[in-house]
Amino acid sequence: MKEYLNKDLYEILGITPEADEGQIKSAYRKMARKYHPDVNNNTAESIQKFKEITQAYEILLDVSKRREYDILRGYTRRKADSTETARTRAKKAYSNTETTEPPKTGAGESSFSKVFNTILDGLFQHEQTVKQKSKPKQTAKKQKPENGRNINLSVSIKISEAINGTTRTVNVLHTEKCPKCEGRRFINGAKCPMCKGSGEISIHKRLNVKIPAGVKKGARIRIANEGDKGYYGGKNGDLFLTVDIEEDTLFKYDGLNVMCEIPVTPYEAALGANIDVPSVNGSISMKIPPLTTSGQKFRISGQGIKDEKKNTAGDQIVTVKIEMPKELSAKEKELYEELKKYSTQKIRENLK
């Protein structure tokens, strides 16, 4: 405190000794924006000025420190001091002592300032004691609850996982106020060494999240209280996961139904056959009748997406595509030649 007795802290912040707490804060914000080191290219002059402003702010914002400073500087606003300042009373007290010479220090030198400060310290302590007995203790100003922010992430799953449900491990990056500077970014005019002047720190957390069966693309899953931390009684934020379903070369969506296209050979289409068809629930057997045409659709009931709430399920729609072999063996050529002799179909006669 004593190193600031020769400095006018009110003048540093550009306010009067009658300024209240709100005016002190407003003046500090204005001065801090003007002289912040980051705004002034971190020059030595701006750093020193910003430090001086911050320290003045911290002393004047502290009720006990400000009262002590006001008494020592003669800025007191107490009724008891309206006709005579603490400094004047201290000088009178010193002049009325019976000693004719100032006391000597340990080195034998005169020290009026030491006696003066001792008298003021005793006077200040006496006033503090009287004030504490005569007035109730002041309670700290209650901070307004501050809710934490929500966090939004995306998670990608396969169609089969969307249908049957799955779990995913997600990495969540939380942001919290720096515990060292409590979000103020600076300590004694210098950048906080923990948060590097950002006022916040980042915390990584891994969460196992359950993806329910039947989830749709673009759906949002809410995980309560896994967002940023709340302060002063405020609620924690939530984590929201937006579901993205990867494109599949085999399966497509159509509401609760699952669509797929399955190739068959010419002889399977002509003669009919039982073929194995992949589904979201594993391989299943499907019968195709004789003379099946390319593009013909077949429905497999109950093999689509399940709706757990309604206790229903969609179907799997299979589109058949006749696919010719890329190469034919000698025997296959011979059989096709034989088929050609016996075939009576005229499939292009309607094109005339």
Strands 257-264 and 312-313: unpaired
Say if residue 85's pLDDT is above 80: no
Q: Quote the pLDDT of residue 240.
A: 95
Domains of the chain and CATH, by start:
2-134 (1.10.287.110), 151-245 (2.60.260.20), 252-342 (2.60.260.20)
The span from the CA of 145 to the CA of 233, in Å, is 5
Say if residue 115's pLDDT is above 50: no
The pLDDT of 245-272, averaged and rounded, is 89
Quote the tokens at residue 298: 């077949």
Strands 273-279 and 282-288: antiparallel
The span from the CA of 17 to the CA of 11, in Å, is 9
The span from the CA of 284 to the CA of 278, in Å, is 6
Say if residue 107's pLDDT is above 60: no
Q: Quote the pLDDT of residue 294.
A: 94
The span from the CA of 147 to the CA of 233, in Å, is 8
The span from the CA of 101 to the CA of 94, in Å, is 11
The span from the CA of 278 to the CA of 262, in Å, is 9
Q: Quote the pLDDT of residue 2.
A: 58
Q: Quote the pLDDT of residue 207.
A: 92
Say if residue 117's pLDDT is above 60: no
Is residue 69 very low, low, confident or very high in pLDDT (cuts 50, 70, 90)? confident
Say if residue 127's pLDDT is above 60: no
The pLDDT of 7-15, averaged and rounded, is 88
Q: Quote the pLDDT of residue 7.
A: 82
Per mean pLDDT, which range of 138-142, 321-325, 336-340 is the poorest? 138-142
pLDDT in tens, 161-200: 887 889 999 999 888 888 888 888 888 878 899 888 888 8
Residue at 241: amino acid letter: L
Say if residue 71's pLDDT is above 90: no
Q: What does the angle CA 46 – CA 50 – CA 51 come to, to the nearest 5 degrees? A: 120
Instruction: Provide the total of helices (H) and of strands (E) in the chain, helices listed first.
Output: 9, 15
Per mean pLDDT, which range of 7-16, 54-63, 320-329, 342-351 is the poorest? 342-351
Q: Quote the pLDDT of residue 145.
A: 87
Is residue 138 very low, low, confident or very high in pLDDT (cuts 50, 70, 90)? low
The span from the CA of 9 to the CA of 66, in Å, is 10
Say if residue 99's pLDDT is above 70: no
Q: Compute the 3-state secondary structure of the chain and give helix, strand, coil in percent, each to the nearest 5.
A: 35, 25, 40
Q: Quote the pLDDT of residue 36.
A: 81
Say if residue 92's pLDDT is above 50: no
Predicted structure pTM score: 0.45
Q: Quote the pLDDT of residue 73.
A: 81
Strands 252-254 and 239-245: unpaired
Quote the tokens at residue 351: 């094109």
Is residue 266 very low, low, confident or very high in pLDDT (cuts 50, 70, 90)? very high
Question: Which residue would you say has higher pLDDT here, 321 or 80?
Answer: 321
Question: Which residue would you say has higher pLDDT here, 293 or 37?
Answer: 293
The span from the CA of 21 to the CA of 27, in Å, is 10
Question: CA nearest 221: which of 209, 237, 235?
Answer: 209
Say if residue 124's pLDDT is above 50: no
Mean pLDDT of the chain: 80
